[in-house]
Chains A and B, each alone.
Chain A
Amino acid sequence: MKAVARLVWAYFTGTPVLRACTIVGLALIAIDLYVVATQPGSGQKLWLAVLGLIFFFVGSSLMPVTFGRLARSHSVGVLPGGRVKLLLSAFITILLVALPVGILSPASFISANSSLPELMKDPRVRDFVLEVTALMFSSAVLFAGWMYLALWFLTSQRDMAGLFKGLIVIMLVIFSPAREIHDFNVSLTWNLQQIAILWFVFGAGFLLWPRFKAVRARRNREWFAGLTRVFTGRTVGREFDVLLGTANPWLLVAVLALPLLLMVRLMGQVPSAWLFFLTIFSGLTGAYSGQAAERSRALWLRGHWSRVELFVAVERSIWRHNAHVLGALVLVIVGMGLYAGFPPVLVAAGFSLVLLGTVLSTYLGLMITRGLRWVEIVAGVVVMLSLMALAMLVGFEDVDLTTVFALEVCMIALAIAFRSVARRRWTRIDWMECRPDRALTARGA
């Protein structure tokens, strides 16, 4: 248990920034809970606790990264009970992150109803509040579990398989609450069942992974090699793209296909929902350009390019790649428009959104020449939130097109600024600051 506790402690306090986030988050939650509990009717002050919750969640963000690194390392195999303890530490972290949501639920009742303390004397009211608390807590556990799983796939497995798994999980994360809101059938039993299934499947897969790998290694995998050759085999004439990882855009299109089909099936009739998802998908192209700097290190000694010329060549290669993905997304928009009978204005807005998402994320990715730092993270979050907000806005029936247009112009200006920063950074790119992280890809687990 000591090792589990040590791991959990490390997740929340591993770096000075995360430690500060955790402390600030807990302090805000505690202060707000005290205020709300002692001053009935102070509901407007709950925003402080929500802010604290966000800080607390950010404070724990070392968990998926550390978990991923340890899970893929050799050392976890020789540590006594290594995988079990690691799994347990992740579960406890999720419980801790979800706990404030559970505690805030009764607080929100108290803050909204000044006579609640009186009402709580009634066993039926008390049971109801407790039931809602348990429900909120279990929903938060479930949601946090999915979120961390998506984060883990996207950050630890930086390839198509990781991207694919991450997208599917994100779809489930968004679909699950949306369906519950739509059908209004959420229940504690159903939440607990989902938590049990999720953790049973993930836990079993995680714990049995070394055995599965051993069995898989013994089997003839020629058929699989043949399959991957379909995607990776043609390299002649595209060597630059191969080294940069942009040689085969169809791979990304193929990876996007299933989540896109799921999206059409689940939320096709709601304009803002499909615009929202298409925006997320268009942003994925940034994942490629984000790796361009470290991958270009292998190109530096093998071509005639200066640093500026290399940026131009990289930019061209990435756009060759992205054009295919963009084309596929535009086809989806047209198909969706025809299928659901959306007005042409909405379809046109969809085009511009997807294009903006691709351009912004591409240049944001190209800005990453010294590893992922706070500036790029904040810029990424701001861009994605802005795009999503714009997608929701466009989906409204009485949308003001002037506002949409003005926002889009702002985003074009932002894209130009991103490109300018990226180009300037590439003129003095230092490959000692962005070398490929082999530690992540070393085949340990």
Chain B
Amino acid sequence: MTSNAVEASNLKKAFGEKQVLQDMSFGVSPGDVIGVLGKNGAGKTTLLELMLGFTAPTAGAVRIFGHESYSLPGDIKARVGFVPQQDELLDQLTVADQLRVIASFYPRWDSELIDRLCSEWGVNVNARIKSMSVGERQKLSILLAFGHKPELLILDEPVASLDPIARRQFLEQLLTLSTDEKRAIVFSSHIVSDIERLANRIWILKEGRLDWQGDLDSLKESIVRLHIRGAGPELPAFKIPGVLNVRRDGAFATAVVRDWTPEAQEALEKSASVQIEVETLGLEEIFVELHR
């Protein structure tokens, strides 16, 4: 029996001729908070919905708590929470009714937690869902995913419709949840600062592939900007390993590189007789450089 919350191997998904996801293998362990980054159409939603068994992979497999995601048994589903990109609320009900309906599906539902969050987040339980704004509906969707204290929480762009205050409250709650070492969280977002603040591991999707997966610190150590200075008036010709982008200007050059190591730096300094200064990049800069 595996200890990972999620495991995927050689995962592929195609819609007709279009390959959306290609050869993905990954694992999500309890305690992981994974931020999924990718441009529009990179396959984030498809990946998350594949993990939840909404759709079948074209090839490969995803397993949640050791079970094939496409045919999850009920006890495993009770350990999973999901916030969809577009809410699936019932317009004609009140918030209280909607909460009651969803709570009835779970053997463990923390009403106290939900009552407290409703009050803190300013969700009016007597309001009819039809009359709520998009942001209020999103708050309710998030509450519905928290109520049964899932061990695996998957969120597809959960903060897209929230105002800054609601976003902060949501992130605080997610931080509280993430301190539980048994819980794994996977969330996608375009707000890189949120991912940087919350995630301890990053997945970067590019053209249907996992271009990077690893912890945030490794990513920041791996993709860096080099400031290169030559001894003479012009830089000699040299090749930078793993270069993503380079700009030369007389005796100076700046380059963004991936998979950078101190050994590579030492080797380059010796072979090209240059001095190299390494600048660490923020996650947003890394994301932009990877997609340049």
Contact = CB atoms under 8 A, between A and B. Distances in A.
B38 to A, nearest CB: 17
A307 interface: yes
A306 B71 contact: yes
Interface residues of A, number: 33
Contacts, number: 73
Interface string B39-63: 0000000100100111110000000
A303 B55 contact: no
B101 interface: yes
A232 B92 contact: yes
A24 to B, nearest CB: 27
B54 A225 contact: no
Given A301-B82, A304-B73, A438-B87, A228 B92 contact: yes
A156 to B, nearest CB: 15
A304 B91 contact: no
Given A297-B54, A436-B86, A243 B93 contact: no
B88 A297 contact: yes
Interface stretch (B102-110, B196-204, B221-229, B238-246): B102-110
B128 interface: yes
Nearest to B75: A304
Question: Which of A159, A233, A306, A432 lies at the interface centre, i.e. has the most chain B CB atoms within 10 A of its CB?
Answer: A432
A303 B102 CA distance: 11
B53 A232 contact: no
A148 interface: no
A355 B54 CA distance: 34
Nearest to A241: B101
B168 interface: no
Nearest to A437: B86
Nearest to B71: A306
A430 interface: yes
A435 interface: yes
B88 A235 contact: no
B74 interface: yes
Contact of B97 (A232, A300, A303, A428): A232
Given A225-B128, A232-B97, A303-B74, A298 B56 contact: no
Contacts of B97: 232-233, 235
A242 B74 contact: no
B175 interface: no
Given A306-B71, A432-B55, A301 B77 contact: yes
A431 B77 contact: no
A312 B121 CA distance: 39
Interface string B58-97: 0000000000000111110100101000111011110001
Nearest to B150: A301
A236 interface: yes
A190 interface: no
A339 interface: no
Contacts of A305: 74
B248 interface: no
B55 A235 contact: no
B91 A441 contact: yes
A432 B73 contact: no
Contacts of A300: 52-54, 77
A239 interface: yes
A307 B70 CA distance: 9
Question: Which of B55, B73, B105, B130 lies at the interface centre, i.e. has the most chain A CB atoms within 10 A of its CB?
Answer: B105
B86 A438 contact: yes
Contacts of A6: none
Given A431-B54, A438-B87, A441-B91, A303 B77 contact: yes
12 contacts: A159-B91, A242-B90, A297-B54, A297-B88, A300-B53, A301-B77, A304-B74, A304-B77, A430-B54, A430-B55, A431-B54, A443-B130
Given A303-B77, A443-B130, 11 more contacts: A225-B128, A232-B93, A235-B101, A242-B93, A243-B90, A303-B105, A304-B75, A428-B56, A431-B54, A432-B46, A432-B49
Interface of B: 46, 49, 52-56, 71-75, 77, 80, 82, 86-88, 90-93, 97, 100-102, 104-106, 128, 130, 134
Interface of A: 159, 225, 228, 231-233, 235-236, 239, 242-243, 245, 297-298, 300-307, 428, 430-433, 435-436, 438, 441-443
